[in-house]
Structure formats: C-alpha cells, structure tokens
Amino acid sequence: MLYYLFQWLDKYDFPGAGMFGYTSFRALMAIILALLISSIWGDKFINLLKRKQITETQRDASIDPFGVNKVGVPSMGGVIIIFAILIPCLLLGKLSNIYMILMLITTIWLGSLGFADDYIKIFKKDKEGLHGKFKIIGQVGLGLIVGLTLYLSPQVVIRENIEIEKPDGQIEVVHAAKEIKATQTTIPFFKSNNFDYADLVGFMGEHAQTAGWILFVIITIFVVTAVSNGANLNDGMDGMAAGNSAIIGLTLGILAYVSSHIEYAGYLNIMYIPGSEELVIFICAFIGALIGFLWYNAYPAQVFMGDTGSLTIGGIIAVYAIIIHKELLIPILCGIFLVENLSVILQRLYYKAGKRKGVKQRLFKRTPIHDHFRTSMSLIEPGCSVVFTKPDKLFHESKITIRFWIVTIVLAAITIITLKIR
C-alpha cells in the first residue's frame, strides 16, 4: 500500500518518495518493520495468551534429564510470526505481483490450517489436534493452487541460461532474449544447472510439455507437504525451528535476489526470473519476523509457535523454493527437516515391524531425531531394544539447538556452492 502511495507521490517530486522504487530499500524496511512487530507487539500478545491461559502441556520436568519444565508456556505464538510477515508485505510490496500474491496466500492458508490444529488441541483439549487427513488435504490443496497458478499465469516466465564456449575455450553464460514458460528447474551438477521435468516424460512426444507441467504440480504438492511437516517436526526445542528457518530463508532470499538480476544469475549459471525481486521483500519480512520471535522463543522459551507457526514457515519455505525454481535444492538446504522426517518414518516402520513379531524395538531412543540426543535409556520402556544408543552423554536442548543451527548454516553454504561445481 505504501509502495503505491509513494509511487504516486514521486510523480510530484515528493522528497524521498523515489526510495520506494528500490528493492533494496523496501527489503531493509521490511526486515526492520517485521522485527519491530514481532518483538514489540509480540510481548503484548504473549501477555494476552498468559491472561487467557492459552497454553499447551509440552513436557513435564520429570521426564527431562535436565529438569526443564515446559508446562504452562503460552502456545499459538505463530500468530506473531504471521502478522509480522503480512503487515510489512502489504505495506511495502507490489500487491499486483503474482509471486507476492502466492506467498501471501500461502501464509494465510497454512496459518489458518495450523491455527485450527492448535485451537483443537488447546480449547477442545484434544492432544491429537486436527486430524492428519485434514492437514494433508490442506497441504495438497495449497500445492494445487500454487502449481496451477504457476502453470496458468502469464506473469510466470523465465529466461533460460545458456552456456557458450568462446574461441579461447572459456565458458560464458548468457540468457535467452525471449521469455518463456517452462518446466525447468535448477539442479546442481547438470549442464547449465537446468533440469526439465518434461524430459522425464519425453516419450509422450508432442504432449511431453503438458505432461511435464502435470508432473511439476505433483512435485509441488509433495514438496509443500514434506517441508511443512518437516518444519513441524523440527519445532520441538526452544528456538530450533525459528533459527533453522531464518537461515534457510536467508539462503532462499539470496537465490531469489540473484535470480531477479540477469548479471548475477549469469554468475551462478541459473535462469533469470523476471519479477522475482518482490520475493526479496517477502523473505526479508519472513527473516525479520523469525528473529523477532526468537527474542521470546530462545531458551528458556516464553512462548511456543505451535502448529500455527511451524506449518506456516515450512509451507512458506517450500512454496518460495518452488517459485524461484529451486525446489530440487531443498534436500540439501532443508537437510535438517529431511532427517527429522526420515527419523520419524523409520522409527515407526521399525517399531511396527517388531510389533508384528511380538518384539519391542526402536531405531532411536526417541524421535524426531533431535530428541534422541537428550533422552536417557532409563526413559525407554522396559523390554524395548534400541539400535542406536549413542551418544551416552546427554545434551542440553540449547546446545542441541545451536548445533542444529550450525549444521543448517553449513548446508546453506553447500547449497550455493554446488551451483558452481562442475
């Protein structure tokens, strides 16, 4: 809204109005505004949650090796994150930009889904929350909206990066002059860092491109579901999900920024995406909101984000990566989320396999995997065997959280570096 106001004022030479025409200025304003909203208004919202006793029993001190009590801490703090994202974007973003519209829809859609889950847990006293099938339906629905919009919208185009060998043998990256709709995405180690989904269905001949878009929509649904669930599982320790997501968001912001500048895109040998500069505004608001939330969510937490926050930030990361054609980099960038997901899946499969044989068995002491490092064998049910019992030494959750942040930083660096490896 402010963007359009100052664009109008700039016509009349209003002092400073021209600053709103620069993406860098609006991005910095977005991160500052989001930070202020989440940190200042967040305090008032937390006090409101306490007065209304909107809390969820998280963990009793008796089952924690360090005696950490997580009972009575306000939940649904994800509302802080959502408002801290939406307000700066609505004020500073180009609301006609299709990418910004999709990100705002994603935030509201998954925020509502997570809110419903938390509402059932807290107010209906149902620990299971929203039934799993409804979560899946919501995530699949969002995936369909995003995938079909990217397929149908005329604003969604790219300019393909092309490698040209010079007479001296050096490789120069140029971008095609024509903007096209394509099922291409960025993947490391491939020629020109491009991979076309249509190539997987090349046997369909003239229908390959259409089939490629169908495949793209299916992959979009899968990515949205997997990443949002991964972020949800990662939200088990103070500051864990917020910190990891902020690091991931920063990396995606860098990739979006270079994708919106043809020169920078050429340096990383990735496709040029016109209009993607608005995504920088969104991701800066996202990062600012998470950093501000960390002020209260860092150990010892004064508030939990709940599913309202974790489902939302996971979905935001997924959709953002899809929009900038970087979804195949997610297994590296979001490696922590991937491992959290896999640990839970493998644990359940292994446990059920033993149950069919009448044997109690586990792969890990506890899942998601971050809980494994703070769980003593004394807390395992009697008669249950555990495959991976190391480390014997238990770690405090603050140490585990920071180490997971470090791993995510390393993965973020690897994600960018892989684009330059040949």
Residue that is written with structure tokens 């953002």 in the block? 320
Residue 187, domain member (yes or no): no
Helix axes 278-297, 306-323, angle to 10 degrees: 150
Q: CA-to-CA distance for 77 and 301, rounded, in angstroms?
A: 11
Backbone Cα Rg of the chain? 23
Is the CA virtual torsion 407, 408, 411, 412 positive or negative?
A: negative
Q: What is the pTM of this model?
A: 0.93
The pLDDT of residue 70 is 66
Residue that is written with structure tokens 């494994």 in the block? 372
Classified as helix, coil or strand, 213 is helix
Q: Kindly state whether residues 81 and 221 are assigned to the same domain.
A: yes
Q: Kindly state whether residues 111 and 222 are assigned to the same domain.
A: yes
Give bridge partners of residue 163 from the DSSP assignment: 173
Alpha helix segments (H runs only) across 77-205: 78-92, 98-123, 132-152, 197-200
Q: Kindly state whether residues 314 and 356 are assigned to the same domain.
A: no
Q: Kindly state whether residues 350 and 243 are assigned to the same domain.
A: no
Is the CA virtual torsion 235, 408, 284, 221 positive or negative?
A: negative
Q: Kindly state whether residues 83 and 224 are assigned to the same domain.
A: yes
Q: Kindly state whether residues 260 and 363 are assigned to the same domain.
A: no
Q: Kindly state whether residues 371 and 297 are assigned to the same domain.
A: no
Residue 283, domain member (yes or no): yes
Residue 68, domain member (yes or no): yes
Residue 267, domain member (yes or no): yes
Residue 226, domain member (yes or no): yes
Q: Kindly state whether residues 283 and 150 are assigned to the same domain.
A: yes
Q: Kindly state whether residues 326 and 354 are assigned to the same domain.
A: no
Q: CA-to-CA distance for 368 and 340, rounded, in angstroms?
A: 5
C-alpha angle with apex 305: 300 to 380, nearest 5 degrees? 65
Q: Kindly state whether residues 83 and 104 are assigned to the same domain.
A: yes
Residue 419, domain member (yes or no): no
Q: Kindly state whether residues 230 and 253 are assigned to the same domain.
A: yes
Residue 186, domain member (yes or no): no
Give bridge partners of residue 20 from the DSSP assignment: none
Q: Kindly state whether residues 132 and 56 are assigned to the same domain.
A: yes
Which domain range does residue 374 map to? 344-391
As for how many domains the chain has, the answer is: 2
The pLDDT of residue 64 is 61
Mind listing the pLDDT tens digit of every residue in the chain (422 residues)?
A: 777 776 777 777 787 777 877 888 999 999 999 999 999 998 899 988 888 887 765 555 555 666 666 667 888 899 999 999 999 999 999 999 999 999 999 999 999 999 999 889 888 877 778 888 888 899 999 999 999 999 999 999 999 888 887 777 677 788 888 888 988 999 987 777 888 898 888 888 888 888 999 999 999 999 999 999 999 999 988 999 999 999 999 999 999 999 999 988 988 889 999 999 999 999 999 999 999 999 999 988 889 998 999 999 999 999 999 999 999 999 999 999 999 999 999 999 999 999 898 899 999 999 999 999 988 888 888 889 999 998 888 898 899 999 999 999 999 999 999 988 76
Is the CA virtual torsion 45, 50, 55, 61 positive or negative?
A: positive
Tokens of 258: 């270079």
Q: Decide if 293 contacts 81 (C-beta within 8 A).
A: yes
Give the length of the chain. 422
Residue 404, domain member (yes or no): no
